[in-house]
Amino acid sequence: MSLTTYWLEHAWLGTRPQLPPGGTPVEPGVALEVDAEGRIAALRTGVDTPPPGAEPLRGLTVPGLANAHSHAFHRALRGTVQIGSGTFWTWRELMYEVAQNLTPDSYFTLARAVYAEMALAGITNVGEFHYVHHARGGTPYADPNAMGEALIEAAAAAGIRITLLDTAYLSSGFGEAPNVHQQRFSDGTADAWAERVSALKPRGHALIGAAVHSVRAVPADQLATVAGWAEERRAPLHVHLSEQTAENDACQAAHGRTPSQLLADHGVLGPRTTGVHNTHLTDADIALLGGTGTGTCMCPTTERDLADGIGPATRLQRAGSPLSLGSDSHAVIDLLEEARAMELNERLRSRTRGHWTANALLTAATGDGHAALGLPDAGRLEAGALADFTTVALDTVRTAGPLPRLGAETAVFAATSADIRHTVVGGRHVVRDGHHTLVEDVPSALSEAIAALRA
C-alpha cells in the first residue's frame, strides 16, 4: 500500500479522548501517514525529527477547518456594501443585484476563486447554502442544476470538499409570491424542488444536502417535503433561523408561533439539522433546539457586519446544540476570526471572559463543523479520518513568542488566515508555503471574476 508521510512539527490533538486530565492537546513531533485513499493510516507521536522521505509541516497542524455556511457569490459584495449605513434589508437589495448577473460560467469562475481563498485560509470543506438555481425570470437552464454543478466543479478546481446545501426558496414572505429578484431562486413548489435536487449526485469531493432558506421563504405546508427529502437520504439539512426580529414578528403574525416552533411542528429540527445564526430566540426556542440536538452555525463576522445581533451561543450549547462556524457573506474569510469573535462577542455581552477554551473553539471550527456538513469522519487527526489538515505558522509577527504548547490559544486568539502555511485535502497539498497549488494567482482570479460580474 502506497503511503505518504507528513511530519508535523506541532499537532493539535484536542479531540483525542485519551488525553490525561490537564494534559496539553498540542503534541510536538508527530508523524502522520496517509494511505492511497486519502485517509490517515497512522499517527505516531514523539518523533523528534522528520523521518526519511517525510514532508515537514512546520508550525501547528490542526484538522482542516470547516466553513459550515457560505454564499459564494456574496464575496463580490466585499467592500462595496460598507458605504453609508442601513440595515440587513437594504444590504439585501445590493445582494440581489449581484445575484441577477450570475450565469453558470461566471458562477464557476467566481466560486473557484472564492474556494481557493478558503483553501488559503485553511478551509478544507465548505457548506454552500445554494439558492440561485435558475436563469433570470425563473426560467430553468437546459440542465436544471447547472448552477449547482458549477459550484461542485468549482470546489474540485480549488481542491476543497463541498456539501452543496441545495436550498428551497419558494416565497418572498408569508403568503407572498417571489419578487422579481427571487424568481431565480424558486422552483415553484417543494415537490418541484425535490424533483430537481434529486438529480444531483454526490461524488468524491462533494455531498448533496438540503436547506430551507427560512420560514418566510418556504410555506409552512411545504416544510415537511424538504425535511422528508433530507431524512430519506440521511443528508444534512440547514436553515436560516431567527436572524432578524422582523422575521420572528412576521412568523408570529402569520402562525402564532416562533420560527423554531414552526420548524419543530413540521419535522425540520433534529440532529442532522443546523440552524444558521439562531440569533433572536426565546428561552423555549433554546430548549427546543437543544432538546432535539439541532445544531447552531454561528457566523460572527457577518452577524456583526449586518448588525444582526449576538446569538445566545453559550446557552444553546449548554442546552445541547452543537456549535459550528461559517463565513456566510464573506465580509472576511477567516475561520480563526470566526472562532475568536464568538468568544469575544460573548465577553462584550456578559462582561466576563473565558466562555470557551481555545480547544472548544477549534472543535467548533473543525470536527463539529464537518459533522454539520455530513462528514463525521473529518475534523480529527487520528487513524481512519480523512487526511484533511492545515498548518498555522507560529513564527509570524502575530504568532511569534508564545510557547508551542500554547499553540491552540495562539491560533485562536492571535492568528489570522494570513498565517495559514499549508492546507492538505485527502492527503494532497492544496496550499504549500502559503501558495495555492491549483489556482496560480488567487487575488487576480478574484478581481477578474468580480469585475466580470460588475460589467
Catalytically active residues, by annotation: 277, 328
**Contacts of 56 by beta carbon, 8 Å cutoff, 6+ apart:** 6, 7, 9, 50
Q: In which order are the strands placed within the sheet that holds 123-130?
A: 65-70, 123-130, 161-168, 206-212, 237-241, 273-277, 295-298, 323-325
CA distances in angstroms from 237 to 168, 208, 294, 295, listed in the order given: 11, 10, 10, 10
Where are the extended beta strands (E) located within 227-362?
Answer: 237-241, 273-277, 295-298, 323-325
- Report helix, strand or coil for 160: coil
Closest CA to 444 of 200, 137, 127, 112: 112
Written as nine digits, the cell of 148 is 449547482
Q: How far apart are CA 94 and CA 101, in angstroms?
A: 12
- Report helix, strand or coil for 380: coil
Q: How far apart are CA 277 and CA 358, in angstroms?
A: 21
Residue type present at position 68: A
Q: 284-306 burial, b if ≥16 CB within 10 A, otherwise e?
A: ebbbbbbebebbbbbbbbbbebb
DSSP assigned state of 78: T
- Report helix, strand or coil for 421: strand
Written as nine digits, the cell of 409 is 490559544
Closest CA to 422 of 162, 16, 123: 123
Closest CA to 170 of 225, 121, 125: 225
CB 172 within 8 A of CB 205: no
